[in-house]
Amino acid sequence: MDREEVINIVESLNFSKGEYYITGEAALVLYDIRKYCDSINLYVSEDLFQELKDAGRINHNRVDEAGFYQIADEVAVAVRNKKKFEVRMESGFPLQTLKSIVLWKRDRNESQDQNDLIKIEEYTKKHNIKLGI
């Protein structure tokens, strides 16, 4: 999915911006660090998760090893306490902070993570952003 597709899909979810944030690849697309992503992962508040559960959108048979529940073909959510939200508003959307993404990608250390880390470093230099890592 490109930037426009990510925006359209996230907007179509009609979630309150204070109740979720976009993480991982999709966040990097909205930061304009990546051109494409395969999926959209969102951390959602406990309240929003309960709403999704009550609406029958949470299927316990469709959860991955990281705890993300598939709610649509291209969208998965994981519950997170709002006090632990690590968010930066960018392009009108709540995105996972770059610092948090970098720390996660360093820890996971898969081949695509290395490419993303290089792109994030280029982006932060270009925009004079200090991550404090």
Cα–Cα dist 89/94, whole Å: 5
Cα–Cα dist 67/76, whole Å: 9
Q: Is residue 111 part of a domain?
A: no
Q: pLDDT above 90 covers what percent of the chain?
A: 81
Number of domains in the chain: 1
Q: Is the pLDDT of residue 35 over 90?
A: yes
Q: Is the pLDDT of residue 13 over 90?
A: yes
Q: Is residue 50 part of a domain?
A: yes
Q: Is residue 104 part of a domain?
A: no
Tens of pLDDT, residues 91-105: 899 999 999 999 999
The CATH number assigned to the domain holding 91 equals 3.30.460.40
Which backbone phi and psi does 83 adopt, to 5 degrees? -65, -20
Distances (CA, A) of 97 to 54, 70, 71, 89, 132: 29, 23, 23, 9, 12
Q: Is residue 25 part of a domain?
A: yes
Cα–Cα dist 30/93, whole Å: 8
Q: In sequence order, what are the beta bridge partners of 75?
A: 40, 72
Give the range of the structural domain holding residue 46, as residue numbers without chain letter: 3-97
Contact of 10 with 30, CB cutoff 8 Å: no
What DSSP state is assigned to residue 55?
Answer: T
Average pLDDT over residues 32-61: 95
Q: Is residue 31 part of a domain?
A: yes
Q: Is residue 122 part of a domain?
A: no
Q: Is residue 63 part of a domain?
A: yes
Q: Is residue 130 part of a domain?
A: no
